Amino acid sequence: MLGDLRNRSLIVTKGVLFLLTGLLAAALIVWQSPGWVTVLLLLTVIWSFCRFCYFLFHVLESYVAPSLKWRGLVHLVGAVIREREAAAHEKTAGGPGEPPAVM
């Protein structure tokens, strides 16, 4: 795998390419199905996904699970699974300093 992107100009270029790709896709959707309803639905989709992204990468990390650190959605799912497994293991083991639970 490649390492993290650290070059500022390449990071900005990547952001601009994301913006241009989104604008092109939105323009093609409106061109294929012109109308105010299409534009409104498209704006709603864009706004909702932006809020979801903010929720995933700021709200969860800052307020819900500050102990979890992740780099992407796949990494987030893995971190949540590992945290749940650790909590389940701690629960069955009786927690720190307690004898294991008998099942």
| 30-53 per-position pLDDT tens digit | 999 999 999 999 999 999 999 998
User: Residues 28, 39: contact at Cβ < 8 Å?
Assistant: no
Residue 89 lies in a domain: yes
pLDDT digits (tens, 9 = 90+) for 62-73: 887 777 777 777
Residue 40 lies in a domain: no
pLDDT band at 58 (very low <50, low <70, confident <90, very high): confident
The tally of domains found in the chain comes to 1
Residue 44 lies in a domain: no
User: Residues 8, 14: contact at Cβ < 8 Å?
Assistant: no
User: Residues 29, 38: contact at Cβ < 8 Å?
Assistant: yes
Query: Bigger pLDDT: 102 or 12?
Result: 12
Query: What is the CA angle 85-55-42, rounded to 5?
Result: 130
Write the DSSP symbol of residue 57: I
Residue 82 lies in a domain: yes
Report the pLDDT value the prediction gives residue 12, as an integer from 0 to 100.
95
Q: What b/e readout covers 43-64, taking b as 16+ CB neighbours within 10 angstroms?
A: eeeeeeeeeeeeeeeeebbeee
Mean pLDDT in residue range 5-28: 94
Report the pLDDT value the prediction gives residue 71, as an integer from 0 to 100.
73
Q: Could you tell me if residue 5 is left (phi over 0), alpha (psi between -120 and 50 degrees) or otherwise beta?
A: beta
Domain of 79 in residue numbering reads as: 68-103
Q: Does the pLDDT at position 94 exceed 80?
A: no
